[in-house]
Amino acid sequence: MVLIEALNNQGSLARENNELLIRLLKHEGIEYKELEYVDLDQWPLPPRLITDGINIDPEPPERLFITDTTFRDGQQAFYVYYSINDAVRLFRLLADLDNGSGKITRSEFFLYTGRDRELVKAVRDLGLEWPRVIGWGRARVEDVRLVKEAGLDEMVMLMSISDIHIRYKFNSTRDRVVAKYLEVAEYALKEGIRLRCSLEDVTRSDVVGFVIPFVEKLLKLGERYGVETTIKLPDTTGVGVPYPFAPLPYSIPKLVWVIRKVLGIPSESLEFHGHGDYYMAVSNAVAAWLYGASINNGTLLGIGERAGNVPIEALVIWYARLRGSFDGMNPRVISKIAEEFRSLNYPVPRYQPLVGENAFTTAAGIHVDAQLKNPMTYLSMDPTVIGREANILVGPYSGRSSIEYWLKKRGIEPTPQLIDAVYKRIMHLYDNGLRREPLGDEELNNILNDIMMSLTGQT
């Protein structure tokens, strides 16, 4: 039987709500059988993933874009309340990363406090073309007014869409929240504000029975007032998966595909916002691009609530992997961004891809030997592309090759006698429990100096 997972007040999607999806699938030439329903009330266990027997093909858009939420979602979880000057430096780096290409199009900002509004003014006063500064707010008239007062003409409007949020966060009903969302959206559109409607927790929602009819109403409002409307799809708790054969609401490919096919939304009006709770943030973002959403939302270094957001540096690299070019973006700025965060006392995880200390570091002797012969053996890209260098750690498993490499980098002739002497001294430290961490340059220099003096004394 074909299975489609979804979530509503009772924990399973009502049979009649799938009629639209069935018609759509048949129109696309997909054979569809009688549905069998599964109760999704898995709490306290993580939500179970099954397949529904329906596969779809990728349809990547002609153009891909990135948007930023470092100063909104990222700031919600960043452990330090950075100053205006700190934020301005980070925003400049974000603009430098875009490099005038227009690929990193927008950056979202809170407007609730005086400091928030001061920050918005400071970054706007820089006069940078990209990314554009936009507001972020709830579906409340007062939040729309904050956007207008800040001189902005675009905002992300939060619209919680899952029954879990509607019931437990708002103690409300679908009809009541929809009426409120539409009322505030219309107010914003009348004011000429372009909307990015953020369907919070959409990956735990009733996509066919609730999300699609609601989005259709939003789009009609936008058409009525002639104002651009973008639909944002947040995987708020990170339960989404990048698999086209997984069911709704979890499948990011299927979510993007169904909304595009049913509502005729152009790719450039669809934006994905991912979270890393199940290690899927980047995979889901790439899937969103591949299956028809032009826009991906992320933060610098992936900072954000709980397990963080999609790292913008990962999106930049994946842009190049999908397009074969950075199309004007300057990836060398990635290393500068990491250094800026370190200067703010943010501990960049050692093993974080691209920006972590170990990202382009090799320690295993057999790997070092191969990498010295050709760096492509264990590096799939040249780290200088993002302003980094390949590095080799010296430790108990590094072998003589790493010692040879280290000596050559310092302009010292790596004779077999010298390499062997350094190797034996290093192994003595580890074999006798005198050392646990890899050796730094200072310690290696001390070992080398001691050995050189010894060898000189022997001659």
- Same structural domain for residues 240 and 377? no
pLDDT in tens, 108-126: 999 999 999 999 999 999 9
CB-count burial class (<10 Å; 0-12, 13-18, 19+) for 15: exposed
The number of domains in the chain is 2
- Same structural domain for residues 336 and 378? no
Query: Is 47 among the domain residues?
Result: no
- Same structural domain for residues 425 and 305? no
- Same structural domain for residues 285 and 365? no
Which range of residues forms the domain containing residue 426?
A: 361-458
Query: Is 36 among the domain residues?
Result: no
- Same structural domain for residues 228 and 377? no
Q: Say whether pTM exceeds 0.75.
A: yes
- Same structural domain for residues 375 and 242? no
Place of tokens 């409007």: 157
Query: Is 350 among the domain residues?
Result: no
CATH code at position 301 = 3.20.20.70
* Tens digits of pLDDT across the chain (459 residues): 232 333 233 233 334 445 666 666 666 555 444 333 334 567 788 988 888 878 889 999 999 999 999 999 988 876 667 789 999 999 999 999 999 999 999 999 999 999 999 999 999 999 999 999 999 999 999 999 999 999 999 999 999 999 999 999 999 999 999 999 999 999 999 999 999 999 999 999 999 889 999 999 999 999 999 998 999 999 999 999 999 999 899 999 999 999 999 999 999 999 999 999 999 999 999 999 999 999 999 999 999 999 999 999 999 999 999 999 999 999 999 999 999 999 999 999 999 999 999 898 776 555 666 666 777 777 789 999 999 988 777 777 778 888 888 888 888 888 988 888 988 988 888 888 877 777 777 888 888 898 888 777 665
pLDDT at 8: 35
- Same structural domain for residues 122 and 248? yes
Query: Is 372 among the domain residues?
Result: yes
- Same structural domain for residues 192 and 102? yes
Among 343, 372, 389, give the residue marking a domain's end: 343
Query: Is 198 among the domain residues?
Result: yes
pLDDT at 12: 38
pLDDT at 349: 94
- Same structural domain for residues 254 and 290? yes
pLDDT in tens, 9-51: 323 333 444 566 666 666 655 544 433 333 456 778 898 888 8
- Same structural domain for residues 296 and 211? yes
Query: Is 203 among the domain residues?
Result: yes
- Same structural domain for residues 336 and 366? no
- Same structural domain for residues 217 and 97? yes
Among 343, 374, 406, give the residue marking a domain's end: 343
Query: Is 264 among the domain residues?
Result: yes
Query: Is 16 among the domain residues?
Result: no
Among 343, 374, 402, give the residue marking a domain's end: 343
Cα distances from 10 to residues 6, 193, 199, 246, 297, in angstroms, run: 10, 37, 21, 21, 32
pLDDT at 37: 34
